[in-house]
Amino acid sequence: MVRLLVFFLCAIAFAQEPCQVPPEIRGLTLEQIRARVNSGENDFFLYKQLLDLTPSVPKPGTLAVEFERRLKPDDGVLSYLYGRALIGKNTPEAIVHLNRATELSPSLPWTYLALQEVYASRNFADKAKLLDNMRSYHNLCPANTDGFRYLDKLTDGAEAVGWVRDLRPLLEASPGEEQGRYWRLLWAAEFRLTPQAEYDALRAKVAGDVKRLEALPNAGDRTLMGALADGYKLSGQMDAAGRIEHQLNPDEGFNKNYDAWMVKSGLRGGNLTAEERQAAFREYAKISVEWTAKWPDDPAAWSVRLLALTGDPNWKKEDLEQVGEQYLKVEAPHRVGWTYTPGALRVTQLWFRYGIRIPDCVTMAERALDEIARGPMEYSDLTAPPNAADIVKRSQFGFDVSLWDAMDVIAGGAAQLKDFEKARRMLARMQRWLDENQFKKDDASAGFTRFQASYLVAAGRVAEAEGHKVDATALYTKAAATGFIDGEVRKHARALWDEQGGTREGWSLATRRLPAPKPPNLLPVDIATTYAAWTKVDMPLPDAGLRDAAGKPWALTNLKGKLTLVNVWATWCVPCREELPQIQKLYELSRQRGDFEVVTFSIDENPGELEPFMKSKGYTFPVVLARQYLENVAAPVTIPQNWVVDGKATLREKSIGFDSRIVDWAAQTAARVIRAGN
């Protein structure tokens, strides 16, 4: 009776203010919401916020079972909640329940928002249904900015004008940091709808918008920082934009130096002698100090420093502890979403290996294990590529490695701390994994034997800590026979063997390498081939009325009668930025030779960002605005991408990716274009 009364009162509140989540619920954390739902509170907005805040990565649809239990066939609100919970896990079924919700509760606005998410996605795209649901939601909740979430999907300029006209006053009245994404959508739409001759006036308006955003108190919010970076670029403040982009992506500058040094050092190859490799690691440790001094706020630089430090022959435990602490401090603000390689796990592995702060190692490893165990990753069916199953399969080994790394630290650390109950629980978890994954035993790429060795070593550590040296010796010896233990563990195992009176012949026999599973037949893969391969296409390109960055009309017929290299890129794409200097060289080469041309297709959402970007870099190659065209012709779009198009406007060959190690890329690509066009 009490629950019915609560639900009735909530229904009254919902009817009075259906478009706004009550402030007292909007401010709750996911943990607080979950606690209230678990206590029996029956509140629609609690359920909605539970859906909003529950991560869909690494597994979409985790709440589907919970809301299926609540489902009633004649209840539109419950149909919405269940349908919403299914999105990403079983979207076709979600559509059925969401459509049912619109029939039963047509005034429930959130159903139309959920359907927008579906019809805006790559795999369920339907522009007509998207627009219909956008209108339905906007009619019910005209003051809600989330009704403009898919403004960038509107391709009809006349339709978009009205939406832009409605959005700007909403943002000007309430320019909170949570509105950052909508400012970006607004600016992009305004530049798409504005003639290029009027861009200067629009840039001045954006500059005024930026001042509003600068005055907000939470300037460190990533969404807001992204909006500010866009606003600075659009208003010509490139230095300010660069500073923010560095804060958002601090690794970019470091990564270029790191990659260049790794190639030069030879550490990525297998051609160094033992002495050369040792010398390279000493240099690695030395230069990593310089990198952290130059990029003190870059998590990647500190990660490299952490891993390289022990290459210095004079390193100390205090150094490793301090570097680990600094890495965790720098990495913390940059954590975004779920990962099966949490930074804390790498720190705790090294600390545990060298006996640093064992209690902290166990605690950090337990937290890391909780995070990792939320996986492995499953693709949302909204965006899953055709080869999603293959991608997930390839990532499984890395996921399993992290899982075992965390379990190993917990079991070994607990043994050192004499917490044998915790150590035995972790050993049981390891054994359970081995039992459940017996099907991987004969797959050499699955790592089963390696994980089996990890279990045996961990069990040996626990047995030794409990004083059972004979048991420990047997376990270590069996682990040694797998061939998957490091030198220190093998040395310790041999010392225990000798201590128990074992002979050299007995050790040799006991540790004889067990038969390994037959390796799979894998084709040799060259990195350059993997990331910059040319493949034949032979597809006639459909014509379309486009425009260039200056606002002039441009059509595919412009390519007819000419051999052309088409580059597909975006200003925000890091590999594209690495490739564009070579595209400029290729463009200049094409003008000198005259036997082929170069044109680029930008998929930037906001055309206003192109002119300041091109000017700041000194690029002069032609740019065509082709975002919508590429979505229609070549979806899903991967960038950077290069096409060879012949004189009949037929796409002959294409290449995806950019390999910065290719010497004289422009000349080699020019030769490729000529060969493909003949």
pLDDT digits (tens, 9 = 90+) for 131-184: 999 999 999 999 999 999 999 999 888 999 999 999 999 999 887 767 888 999
Q: Which single residue is written with the structure tokens 């051999």?
A: 563
**SS3 assignment, position 575:** helix
**SS3 assignment, position 598:** strand
> Contact 248/295 with Cβ under 8 angstroms?
no
Calpha distance 128→122 (Å, rounded): 14
pLDDT tens digit sequence for 584-606: 999 999 999 888 999 999 999 88
The residues facing 654 across adjacent strands are: 535, 643
Answer yes or no: is pLDDT of 424 > 70: yes
Answer yes or no: is pLDDT of 462 > 70: yes
Higher pLDDT, 1 or 202: 202
Q: Which of 412, 415, 456 shows the shortest CA–CA distance to 434?
A: 456
Q: What is the pLDDT of residue 2?
A: 35
Is the omega angle on the peptide bond into residue 553 within 30 degrees of 0, that is, cis? no
Higher pLDDT, 29 or 73: 29
Higher pLDDT, 559 or 478: 478
Q: Which of 643, 627, 644, 645 shows the shortest CA–CA distance to 635?
A: 627
Q: Provide the b/e sequence for 512-545 (b: ≥16 CB within 10 Å).
A: eeeeeeeeeeeeeeeeeeebbebeeeeeebeeee
- Token pair of 357, please? 């702060």
Taking residues 636-650, report their average pLDDT: 88
Q: Which amino acid does the sequence have at 22?
A: P
Domain 527-677: assigned CATH number: 3.40.30.10
Q: Which amino acid does the sequence have at 664?
A: D
Average pLDDT in the chain: 88
80: left (phi over 0), alpha (psi -120 to 50) or beta: alpha
Q: What is the pLDDT of residue 269?
A: 63
Higher pLDDT, 326 or 260: 326
Instruction: Give the pLDDT band (50/70/90) at residue 264.
Output: confident
Higher pLDDT, 31 or 9: 31
Q: Which amino acid does the sequence have at 236?
A: G
**pLDDT-above-70 percentage for the chain:** 93
Calpha distance 411→451 (Å, rounded): 14
> Contact 124/118 with Cβ under 8 angstroms?
yes
Q: Which of 57, 36, 56 shows the shortest CA–CA distance to 47?
A: 36
Q: What is the pLDDT of residue 515?
A: 64
Strands (E), 332-454: none
* 39-53, 312-326, 448-462, 549-563: the lowest-pLDDT one: 549-563
Higher pLDDT, 49 or 484: 49
For 410, list phi and psi in degrees, rounded to 5.
Answer: -65, -50
Q: What is the pLDDT of residue 357?
A: 96
Instruction: Give the pLDDT band (50/70/90) at residue 555.
Output: confident
Calpha distance 44→101 (Å, rounded): 14
If you ran DSSP here, which 8-state letter would residue 230 be given?
H
Q: Which amino acid does the sequence have at 363?
A: T
Model-level pTM? 0.81
* The domain over range 2-247 is classified in CATH as 1.25.40: yes
**pLDDT-above-90 percentage for the chain:** 56
Q: Which amino acid does the sequence have at 8?
A: F
Instruction: Give the pLDDT band (50/70/90) at residue 324.
Output: very high
Q: What is the pLDDT of residue 243?
A: 87
> Contact 198/206 with Cβ under 8 angstroms?
no
Most confident of 48-57, 241-250, 508-517: 48-57
Q: Which single residue is written with the structure tokens 């979403």?
A: 337
Which uninterrupted H or E stretch holds 183? helix 180-193
Higher pLDDT, 482 or 421: 421
Same fold, 2-247 and 527-677: no
pLDDT tens digit sequence for 483-521: 888 888 889 889 989 998 888 888 888 888 766 555 554
Higher pLDDT, 427 or 664: 427
Instruction: Give the pLDDT band (50/70/90) at residue 12.
Output: very low
pLDDT tens digit sequence for 368-408: 999 999 999 999 999 988 878 878 888 898 999 999 999 99
Which uninterrupted H or E stretch holds 374? none
**Cα angle at 316 between 455 and 255, to 5 degrees?**
80
Q: What is the pLDDT of residue 232?
A: 93
Q: What is the pLDDT of residue 677?
A: 72
All structural domains of the chain with their residue ranges: 2-247, 249-266+273-336, 355-377+389-517, 527-677
For 658, list phi and psi in degrees, rounded to 5.
Answer: -140, 125
Q: What is the pLDDT of residue 3?
A: 38
Q: What is the pLDDT of residue 113?
A: 97
Q: What is the DSSP string of 464-519?
A: HHTT-HHHHHHHHHHHHHHT-S-HHHHHHHHHHHHHTT--HHHHHHHTPPPPPPPP
Q: Provide the b/e sequence for 113-132 (b: ≥16 CB within 10 Å).
A: bbbbbbbbbeebeeeebbbe
Higher pLDDT, 523 or 256: 256
